[in-house]
């Protein structure tokens, strides 16, 4: 469907570097990255708003690298919607049809049809100044969908929308995708990516650093940046050593972690999910895994219950369900034991 082949673009001090990716027909591809990572620039290159310095862009096996923006038939919904403030909602949605000199009656029918689909019929005669974020988003979507694009590009489409409306808009995106529309969605929000994507690409400093199914990307992050996106907060730089049949990871001489079987380099980075660590008031004697005594330094509420910062040779973030937290009666400065299986320690290739 869409293929980017070694795309590079210099924009001031920022470089998109040798971006190669392929998006298959019908996919919901989410490009995840921080602001300033090059996501929007990449979308603008695909849409044709900018030309790449080198590389090729293919759409349905056609080289569109130098094709005029008006002839690409790629829909782009801007982050702030870019609704024309001098036109009514009807005028905005009908804009592309006016460009094609479509018959007035056809324009009216088409605009009404798409407005019905997106539940914005009641807004058609209004100017856009006082519309809510969710309404503007639907207008922007209708204005783009009326062109029947081959590919829909969404630039941070949920960034300016109230949390209560996000689910509605997400549902709309999913429905569009189910109907066969290929979507490339750019965001900095991990949960947005996980809830929508059929495939994810993580972009960092103008490069795609990891690509794959959501479970693969966040289950096996290739570096610290991707791991952070997956909500992992325990990172330890370690030296690996083999002791007979088992592997150990030594962390700054303070701590030795037991690892599962496998192949490890001399040095690297170990990550441990904070919800993979259990907490106890007494020694649980987990000899096969990892068990350390520590002191609670900080408590802060988290999505799952309570996040504890425990000093146990190194600083560990531990997510504790609220029920367990209440049962254990943990407070700041409590003496605790943390325990996690060897399998919870994941070594990052290349050390992150």
- Nearest Cα neighbor of 312 from 337, 289, 288 is 337
Count of Cβ atoms closer than 10 Å to residue 32 Cβ = 27
* Binding range to another protein, per CB under 8 A, among 2-10, 47-55, 223-231, 273-281: 47-55
Among 29, 78, 173, 236, binds another protein (CB under 8 A): 78
For the bound state, the minimum distance from the C-beta of residue 250 to another protein, rounded and expressed in Å, comes to: 50
CB closer to another protein, 84 vs 332: 84
State the binding string over 113-152 for another protein (x if CB under 8 A, else -): --------------x-x-------------xx--x-----
CB 307 within 8 A of CB 349: no
**Size of interface with another protein, in residues (CB under 8 A):** 25
Q: Does 12 bind another protein (CB under 8 A)?
A: no
Q: Does 157 bind another protein (CB under 8 A)?
A: no
The H-or-E segment that residue 268 falls in is strand 267-272
Separation between Cα atoms, residue 135 and residue 121, nearest integer Å: 11
Q: Does 159 bind another protein (CB under 8 A)?
A: no
| DSSP 8-class letter at 72 | S
CB 184 within 8 A of CB 193: no
Q: Does 96 bind another protein (CB under 8 A)?
A: yes
For the bound state, the minimum distance from the C-beta of residue 4 to another protein, rounded and expressed in Å, comes to: 18
CB closer to another protein, 73 vs 334: 73
Residue with the two structure tokens 């590009």: 153
* Binding range to another protein, per CB under 8 A, among 16-24, 67-75, 221-229, 241-249: 67-75
Count of Cβ atoms closer than 10 Å to residue 106 Cβ = 11
Among 17, 82, 194, 276, binds another protein (CB under 8 A): 82
Tally DSSP H helices, then E strands, for the chain: 9, 20
Tell me how many degrees the CA angle 307-229-155 measures, rounded to the nearest 5. Answer: 130
Give the three-class secondary structure for 325. helix
Beta bridge partners of 314: 312
Among 22, 26, 55, 95, binds another protein (CB under 8 A): 95
Residues making contact with another protein (CB under 8 A): 44, 47-49, 69-70, 74-76, 78-80, 82, 84-86, 95-96, 99-100, 127, 129, 143-144, 147
């Amino acid at each position: 469907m869409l293929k980017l082949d070694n795309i590079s673009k210099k924009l001031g001090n920022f470089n998109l570097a040798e971006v190669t990716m392929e998006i298959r027909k019908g996919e919901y591809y989410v490009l995840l990255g921080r602001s300033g990572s090059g996501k929007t620039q990449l979308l603008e290159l695909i849409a044709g708003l900018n030309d790449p310095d080198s590389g090729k862009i293919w759409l349905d096996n056609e080289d569109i690298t130098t094709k005029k923006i008006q002839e690409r038939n790629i829909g782009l919904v801007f982050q702030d919607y870019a609704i024309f403030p001098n036109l009514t909602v009807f005028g905005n949605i009908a804009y592309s049809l006016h460009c094609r000199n479509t018959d007035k009656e056809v324009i009216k029918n088409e605009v009404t049809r798409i407005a019905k689909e997106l539940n914005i019929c009641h807004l058609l005669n209004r100017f856009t100044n006082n519309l809510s974020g969710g309404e503007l988003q639907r207008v922007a979507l209708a204005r783009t969908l009326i062109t029947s694009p081959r590919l829909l590009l969404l630039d941070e489409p949920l960034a300016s929308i109230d949390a209560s409306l996000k689910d509605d808009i997400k549902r709309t995106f999913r429905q569009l995708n189910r109907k066969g529309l290929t979507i490339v969605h750019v965001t900095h929000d991990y949960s947005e990516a996980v809830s929508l994507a059929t495939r994810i690409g993580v972009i960092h400093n103008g490069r795609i650093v990891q690509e794959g199914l959501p479970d693969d990307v966040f289950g096996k992050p290739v570096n610290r940046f991707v791991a952070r996106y997956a909500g992992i907060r325990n990172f330890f730089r370690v030296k690996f050593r083999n002791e007979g049949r088992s592997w150990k990871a030594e962390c700054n001489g303070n701590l030795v972690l037991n690892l599962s079987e496998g192949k490890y380099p001399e040095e690297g980075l170990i990550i441990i999910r904070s919800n993979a660590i259990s907490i106890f008031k007494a020694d649980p004697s987990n000899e096969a895994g990892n068990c350390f005594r520590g002191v609670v330094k900080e408590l802060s509420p988290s999505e799952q219950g309570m996040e504890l910062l425990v000093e146990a040779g190194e600083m560990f973030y531990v997510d504790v369900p609220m029920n367990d937290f209440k049962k254990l009666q943990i407070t700041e400065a409590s003496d605790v034991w943390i325990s996690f299986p060897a399998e919870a320690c994941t070594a990052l290739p290349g050390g992150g």
